[in-house]
Amino acid sequence: MASSQRDQHFIGQSGAFLDAVERASRAAPLRRPVLVIGERGTGKELIAERLHRLSSRWDEPLVTLNCAAMPETLIEAELFGHEAGAFTGATRARAGRFEEADRGTLFLDELGTLSMGAQERLLRAVEYGEVARIGSSRPIRVDVRIVAATNEDLPRMAREGRFRPDLLDRLSFEVITLPPLRAREGDIPVLAEHFGRRMAMELGWERWTGFTAAASAALEKYAWPGNVRELRNVIERAVYRWEEAAGPIADITFDPFDSPWKPAQSLRAPASGAGEESAATAPVIAADLAGVSDLRQAVDAHEKAIVEAALARNRFNQRQTAKALGLTYDQLRHTMRKHHLL
């Protein structure tokens, strides 16, 4: 399934992903608050948008506040507004995000970073539908549907006294937990194909050539700590850097900062000690010399093992692997073809 809003996309076919989207669709028409839980890059903001667009509030404001992006001293003023002179620098009155979201939806991202004071004021707003600007005692009625997101374990934070249990109760009418990309079976190739095609179109390629089998396998093996956001960056970078538009993409760079020319301070060697190995003296692949009965076959097997290990060490970046093995890029490609690694 796929849907888009402001160039944002829901793409996937795994059961875990579709279940989360379906739960959001069912909760959307309700006026109740929803908590969205997930690792960074899993699409929490897209779920918030879906909850808003599929509700009766779809034509009213969707107001977003990243709680982690605001200093603790300003977060309450940002949420609830302030009157002129309420604090140093408040030269004129200003409406807060609650007032801006009146009759619409307020999306609070990184909810777990809210201070206890802000949590207390948020609880009152949720319970009574009223907010008071800082510096004013006059409450203002607001009709706001709250969607909040976090990658924190809020129940644990509540047990440890770092999050108000009563606020957690109020906000957790529905909890939608998004699966990480590594748990979305079958979705990595689907997403890679989508982002790859779109980038190829942006670059003006005449046709989309896809990925080699080795590149596709590397994408599947990678853990994706940054989830879909990281996958998109990796795929778009691979397409943009690929110079052979007529052939499938074979070079994947997972870490754009990985370079043999990193600044020296990033390459500090560990303290020396007994039994430690330096990075320059990687272990040699062992061979059973006594058991060799076919020299050519043994050499080929050893060569293939060396190339596979070097590819893995260099995260399947072929240009970097070629440098590490003292080969040209073409020589490495020839060797990979010889051993059916392409």
Query: Would you say residue 234 has pLDDT above 70?
Result: yes
Is residue 124 domain-shared with residue 37, that is, in the same domain? yes
Residue 147, beta-bridge partner list? 34, 107
Query: Would you say residue 292 has pLDDT above 80?
Result: no
Is residue 151 domain-shared with residue 46, that is, in the same domain? yes
Q: Is 285 helix (H, G, I), strand (E, B) or coil?
A: coil
Residue 141, beta-bridge partner list? 130
Whether 57 is covered by a domain: the verdict is yes
Task: Determine which helix (DSSP H) or strand (DSSP E) holds 9, and give its type and residue range.
Answer: strand 8-11
Whether 120 is covered by a domain: the verdict is yes
Query: What is the rounded distance in angstroms from the CA atom of residue 213 to the CA atom of residue 179?
Result: 26
CA distance to 59, 255, 286, 287, 299, per residue, from 296 (Å): 71, 36, 17, 14, 5
User: Using an 8 Å Cβ cutoff, are 228 and 191 in contact?
Assistant: yes
pLDDT (tens digit per residue) in 150-187: 999 999 999 999 999 999 999 999 999 999 999 999 99
What mean pLDDT comes out for the span 80-100? 84
Is residue 154 domain-shared with residue 81, that is, in the same domain? yes
Q: Largest alpha-carbon pair distance within the chain?
A: 91
User: How much is the pTM?
Assistant: 0.72
Is residue 24 domain-shared with residue 132, that is, in the same domain? yes
Query: What is the rounded distance in angstroms from the CA atom of residue 275 to the CA atom of residue 279?
Result: 13
Predicted local confidence at residue 114, as pLDDT: 93
Could you tell me the CATH number of the domain that includes residue 73? 3.40.50.300
Q: What is the percent of the chain where pLDDT is above 70?
A: 89
From 90-99, 116-125, 190-199, 298-307, the region with the lowest mean pLDDT: 298-307
Is residue 131 domain-shared with residue 238, that is, in the same domain? no
**Number of structural domains the chain divides into:** 2
Higher pLDDT, residue 314 or 90: 314
User: Using an 8 Å Cβ cutoff, are 120 and 160 in contact?
Assistant: no
Is residue 112 domain-shared with residue 208, that is, in the same domain? no
Is residue 252 domain-shared with residue 328, that is, in the same domain? yes
Query: Would you say residue 249 has pLDDT above 50?
Result: yes
Q: How many residues does the chain have?
A: 342
Could you tell me the CATH number of the domain that includes residue 227? 1.10.8.60
- Cβ-based neighbour number of residue 121 at 10 Å: 19
